Amino acid sequence: MLGPDGVPRDVSAAVPDFTGDFFCGAWQAVLADAVRDAPACASEDGLRFGVPVAGVSKVVGVGMNYHEGVRRAGMATPAEPLLFIKPATCLAGANDPIVLPAGADKLDWEVELAVVIGREAYGLDEGEAAAAILGYGVFNDLSERRWQNEQGGEWCKGKSADGFGPCGPWLVTADEVADPGRLGLWLDLNGIRQQQSNTSDMVFGVRFVIAYISRFMRLLPGDVVIMGTPPGTGWRQDPPRFLRPGDRVSLGIDGLGRQDAMVVGGT
């Protein structure tokens, strides 16, 4: 974790992993003690940033949640959040290689704000939702558009392969984020800007979405909610552009960090 001096420190001697159960306890005091005694990492070079929260039971996504994206698609603004599920097996570290699965020829990018749940949430109203939020991070909702849109059924087929959920590098706790509804976010492909927006353009805000999801399913500590992507994805370009081996995908959100990953061919 980052110490108060901004230097990465190894707290594994005191904290085996950042699970939902860990964050249900007195985690602030534990981390304060742990980081004080933890050795500094010699350098960030060569460090692998894993998924910043462990033991995730599910990832819940929101579709078509940016006004400009809805407008460009020629669609009506959704009256309620459009939900889908990504399995926890999709999660990957922020800078892990993006591996094209066998048969994937329309893999697309989506920079998204991730919301990490810190306590059980079920049947909440919007006023109760903030207390259930542990923190925020960067998420790339990788989506295979042929599997998603051309093979019938629900979106989950195109969003669930191993590695289709790069998350992190950081879990930034809610007290460090003044307003999740006013964060700039962006994505570059091979150094060329594809997506740039602000979470202020979201159709449904974070607290509303958390309360809404909790009407239909129980959110558990460590679960991740991803808040939708702004316009600029590959499948809506003319002509469409999809990820190929050798591409570099970089993305980030103000105050939450950035990801840099290479696309590699599957086996």
DSSP string, 79-126: SS-EEEEE-GGGEEETTS-EEPPTT---EE--EEEEEEE-S-BSS--H
Q: Is the pLDDT of residue 30 over 80?
A: yes
**pLDDT for res 220:** 97
pLDDT digits (tens, 9 = 90+) for 213-258: 999 999 999 999 999 999 999 999 999 999 999 999 999 999 999 9
**Comparison of pLDDT for 125 and 31, the residue scoring more:** 125
**pLDDT for res 231:** 98
Query: By percentage, how much of the chain surpasses pLDDT 90?
Result: 82
Query: By percentage, how much of the chain surpasses pLDDT 70?
Result: 98
**pLDDT for res 116:** 98
Phi, psi for 91 (deg, rounded to 5): -70, 145
**pLDDT for res 146:** 97
Domains in the chain, ordered, with CATH? 1-47 (no CATH), 49-264 (3.90.850.10)
**pLDDT for res 78:** 97
User: Dihedral, CA atoms, 237, 238, 243, 247, nearest 10 degrees?
Assistant: -100
Cα–Cα distance, 59 to 261 (Å, whole number):
21
pTM of structure: 0.96
Cα–Cα distance, 35 to 79 (Å, whole number):
45
**pLDDT for res 76:** 96
pLDDT digits (tens, 9 = 90+) for 38-53: 888 866 667 889 999 9
Q: Is the pLDDT of residue 103 over 70?
A: yes
Average pLDDT of the residues in 91-114: 97
What is the overall mean pLDDT for the chain? Answer: 94
Highest mean pLDDT among 6-15, 32-41, 74-83, 149-158: 74-83
**pLDDT for res 44:** 65
Average pLDDT of the residues in 61-65: 97
**pLDDT for res 42:** 64
Answer for the pair 176, 160: CB distance below 8 angstroms, yes or no: no
Structure confidence at residue 14 as a pLDDT band (50, 70, 90): confident
pLDDT digits (tens, 9 = 90+) for 147-196: 999 998 889 999 999 999 999 999 999 999 999 999 999 999 999 999 99
